[in-house]
Amino acid sequence: MIDLSAYQGIIFDMDGTLIDSMGSHLQAWQKACEAYGYPFDYDYMYSLGGIPTVKTIEMLNEKFGLDHDPLVVAKDKHQFWVDLQHHPLVIDETVAVLEKYHGVLPMGVGTGADREHAIDHLTDTNLINKIGALVTASDVSKGKPNPETFLKVAALLGVEPSQCVVFEDTQIGYQAAKSAGMDCIMVKDGKIQL
């Protein structure tokens, strides 16, 4: 088990880091892309993990020269995801870290998901009561790779950013952690990368 005793706080990304939900989100993105005429590229969409949905749609509009209303597309993408009736599973390696340090170090979640979605996922997986702070796309003005999400989690936990370590599964999240002055441990395909 990884030793995090050098830190005073732990911050987890949610989708793809604590909870295995990236697959279902990518399925929903594929349906949304097909519905609105965006070419779907799995690797590109995965690389955008952690960016709020509305911002992702703005990026797709710019990339493909389209002008769909981001709020309308976001609503439809969310409905495609709901229709999949996905039941999230935890990612064992990172949840083991959360379990080991629960009650030992302050821990929080900083996610690009909206608040309702994050609370649903964290409740469904029985993780909600194990974290001391939750910052979502609904709580920030600038999503990842901007450091605002992780800085807000650290502030809510009462821990200096330089004393926090972040677990992330995307390069965008990694950039956000580094910009916040935090160490970052990557999670790839459900495995902690040391």
Number of domains in the chain: 2
Mean pLDDT of 181-191: 95
Q: Omega before 52 cis (within 30°)?
A: no
Look at 190 and 185; give whichever has higher pLDDT: 185
Is pLDDT of 121 > 80? yes
Is pLDDT of 91 > 80? yes
Distance CA 177, CA 126 (A): 25
Shared domain check, 121 and 32: no
Q: Which residues contact 165 (CB under 8 A, 6 or more apart)?
A: 4, 7, 9, 10, 11, 182, 183, 184, 185
Shared domain check, 43 and 126: no
Our answer to whether residue 13 is catalytic in this structure is yes
Is pLDDT of 24 > 90? no
State which H helix or E strand residue 61 sits in.
helix 53-64
Q: What is the per-residue pLDDT across 59-80, written as a single tens digit (0 to 9) for each? A: 999 999 999 999 999 999 989 9
Which stretches of 48-170 are DSSP H helices?
A: 53-64, 70-83, 92-101, 115-124, 148-157
Is pLDDT of 154 > 80? yes
Shared domain check, 35 and 128: no
Distance CA 34, CA 125 (A): 30
Q: Any idea which of 23-27, 115-119, 161-165 has the lowest mean pLDDT?
A: 23-27
Q: For residue 175, what are its two tokens?
A: 């950039």
Establish if 3 belongs to a structural domain. Answer: no
Shared domain check, 164 and 129: yes
Shared domain check, 171 and 138: yes
DSSP state of 40: P
Shared domain check, 71 and 125: no
The pLDDT score that the predictor gives to residue 77 is 94
Distance CA 116, CA 178 (A): 27
Select from 181, 22, 185 the least CA-distant residue to 97.
185
Mean pLDDT of 9-26: 90
Is pLDDT of 147 > 90? yes
Is pLDDT of 1 > 90? no
The pLDDT score that the predictor gives to residue 122 is 95
Shared domain check, 75 and 63: yes
The pLDDT score that the predictor gives to residue 116 is 87
Distance CA 119, CA 127 (A): 9
Shared domain check, 139 and 119: yes
Shared domain check, 77 and 29: yes
Q: Look at residues 63, 83, 103 and tell me which one is the last residue of a structural domain.
A: 83
Select from 69, 47, 43, 44 the least CA-distant residue to 58.
69
The pLDDT score that the predictor gives to residue 131 is 97
Q: Which of 3, 13, 43, 83 is catalytic?
A: 13
Shared domain check, 46 and 98: no
Shared domain check, 180 and 108: yes
CATH number of the CATH domain containing 98: 3.40.50.1000
- 157: domain range? 9-21+88-192
The pLDDT score that the predictor gives to residue 10 is 98
Is pLDDT of 105 > 80? yes
pLDDT-derived band of residue 149, with 50, 70 and 90 as boundaries? Answer: very high
Q: Look at residues 36, 52, 83 and tell me which one is the last residue of a structural domain.
A: 83
Shared domain check, 185 and 97: yes
Q: Look at residues 47, 66, 83 and tell me which one is the last residue of a structural domain.
A: 83
pLDDT-derived band of residue 118, with 50, 70 and 90 as boundaries? Answer: very high
